[in-house]
Amino acid sequence: MQVQNLKNIRTENMKSVYKFIIPFVAFFILLTSFTVKPVKNDPEKDKVLITVINYMLTNGHYLPKELDDDFSEHVFTTFIDGLDPSKRYFTKSDIQEFSAYKYLIDNQLKSQDLSFYHLVYGRFIQKIKSAKQYYGQILSQPFNFNKKESIDIDYKKASFAKNENELIDYWRKQLKLNTLGRIQEQQELEKEKAKKDKKFKKSSFKTLEKKARKEVLKSMDELYIRIEELEHSDWFSTFLNSVVSGFDPHTTYMNPKVKEKFDIDMSGKIEGIGARLQPKGIYTHVFEIVSGGPAWKQGELEAGDIILKVAQGDAEPLDIVGMKLDDAIKFIKGKKGTEVRLTVKKKLDNSIKVISIIRDVVELGETYVKSSIVNKDGKKYAIINLPQFYIDFKDQTFRDSAKDMAKEIENLKKENVEGLILDLRNNGGGSLKTAIEIAGLFISEGPIVQTKYRNNKPRVLNDTDSKIQWNGPLVVLVNELSASASEIFAAAMQDYNRAVIMGGNQTYGKGTVQNILPINQFYPKYKKDLGYLKMTIQKFYRVNGGSTQKEGVYSDIAMPSRYSYMKVGERDLDGALAWDKIEHANYKPTNSYENFDDVVSNSKERIIQNKNFKLINDYAKWLKKNQEDTTYSLNFKQFTKESEKHKKSSEKFTSVFKFSSKLNFVSPKSELPLIKSGVVDKDKRIAWHRNLAKDIYVNEALNVLSELRMRKTSPIVKN
């Protein structure tokens, strides 16, 4: 996703930044009235943070919000949900008491009054202490699994408990569900053991139930140990994020510890699984899978999954819910060749799955441009994979995605390829500069994207190099997770009629830019580290004038995917900035193809008739249905029956992605010396080529590529 630093913003638009910085002198005088005292919870630091962040957002955010009653209600709801998302702690009487502040928080923020925060936070700490008694007493006795009752785990729809008795019953049902899951898991394990060893004696239900309760109790004890390790600053960060999220979902506060965690980059040359992780509440979320890493090759761990437990090989799994991210990472990372087993909650259907990954050296090089060549019907084509738009801002002479792309295309031209597929699936963005330069490789000079700061006129960013690196047929593959700079590139290719865009119905829809600012920069007198504010400061617009925000880029040819019916885009985020349109830039479409409409029509017809795509579409509907089905029976027989039904319904989708084009993908000749020398990992390349042959989306992209005919009068057809 697109992030810029302050230096880059100054370079792009000094006038905008001065508007933000100059009033700071008067603002600084206001803050000097604070008396900073080194106390345990540092209440004056909290006040400083509230005031400075309010100033930064009011003066710097792309779309400043009025701190009014609606904003106050947002902070009220978001903070309470952030502390108690599962309705485990607060009762209706608590909420009623808190409600006295529901429409006063905006006024309190303006006057550095933290009464609402202290009331809710103080009550929460009391409830945490009571929780140990609740779950301890509940788990000390066997559950009645013959009782006909159920639980809905969509806690957003649930109301807060009427009183303490109902609250305890909420706890009972949640713990009962956890116990049920563990019993079933143990039964499945024993069933497998019995198949292998006929002398194996299965445990009684009573024994399994007791063992399951003991495991749940242990997990809860470990959870609350970690919760108690959290400091005041951790909880205050939750409050601050409930405030800043009122501006937009990408604006966040990061305390010094979280900023350090945010900067953890598991795509470097380290030994681990190759995933970027980030904390969300008490959970460890998978933020991104590093292309080419162990998790990427294994294929089951996905962005958005929640890691619940970590086991070293076949050892006892460790529950990491509530664990600090840096501590959790210590267990997930490990020596090359060792096995880690992750118990994860899948984002798509909320199912619990154990994923085994063999740790390996995760190399940054796997995030670079790479290509593969394939022969189809006597013609040679190439696919170029670009996982992100990378650049080293500190060293402009170092390799970047634009330089690498130009070099890759040049090497492919030497092998006489007749068409290119540029794969931007799961590409979350990166450098705007390289996205513009790469777009320029496929067209003559002209506008690529428009950017706009608040209250400023749009600025057109151009490709100024008239050289065209590739003037042949081009297909761009995207999906619902292609975002930011990926969308800028795809939109430009679409607006110029330079490429056929294929993939999901539409891309992610992130048309905003965030800047990570050190808060101390705006209050230098304060010597303690105040952390950072990641703030939305800019919007992107296509050359046709439309924003990529929320809408993303609609594919010319849409293909069913697992995400087809899921809420995974910007449009599904609360508070996302709106789509809008500005005047179009002065550009002239290339109209590169003489049979564009026919090719698109043919492809759509093939997709409709293809049984594999039909199955993928049915699978996507099934995933959506399971995502929406959040009610579970707490009666053991019914729970088992429902589980078997779910398992059986999933069996018809076991072959959903079992496809083979029977095509042979190989490395370009330019890469062979690098493979021989070990600079490029041979096994990783073989695995990638093998996966391309099994990729139904790549196969259809090749079909499209093979049909495209360049228009001889197109301005890009030149030597």
Q: Dihedrals φ, ψ of 120, to 5°?
A: -70, -45
Q: Structure tokens of 69?
A: 């009653």
Per annotation, catalytic residue among 72, 267, 484, 564: 484
678, burial (CB in 10 Å: exposed 0-12, middle 13-18, buried 19+): exposed
- Say how far apart CA 489 and CA 486 lie, in whole Å: 5
Per annotation, catalytic residue among 510, 539, 550, 624: 510
Indicate if 314 belongs to the active site.
no
Instruction: Report helix, strand or coil for 162.
Output: coil
C-alpha closest to that of 373 among 692, 674, 707? 692
- Say how far apart CA 479 and CA 467 lie, in whole Å: 29
Q: Dihedrals φ, ψ of 212, to 5°?
A: -65, -45
- Say how far apart CA 278 and CA 241 lie, in whole Å: 15
Location of structure tokens 């909320």: 350
C-alpha closest to that of 114 among 33, 35, 67, 44? 44
C-alpha closest to that of 481 among 404, 403, 572, 350? 572
Instruction: Report helix, strand or coil for 421.
Output: strand
Helices (DSSP H) in 197-337: which residue ranges? 205-229, 232-244, 256-262, 294-298, 325-332
C-alpha closest to that of 485 among 420, 439, 544? 439
Indicate if 510 belongs to the active site.
yes
Per annotation, catalytic residue among 46, 84, 349, 495: 495
CA atoms within 13 A on the CB side of 712: 0
- Say how far apart CA 2 and CA 265 lie, in whole Å: 16
C-alpha closest to that of 116 among 87, 86, 88, 74? 74
Residues β-bridged to residue 385 = 370, 423
475 close to 697: Cβ distance less than 8 angstroms: no
Indicate if 495 belongs to the active site.
yes
664 close to 693: Cβ distance less than 8 angstroms: yes
- Say how far apart CA 129 and CA 80 lie, in whole Å: 17
Q: Structure tokens of 669?
A: 């000749």
| Enzyme catalytic residues | 484, 495, 510
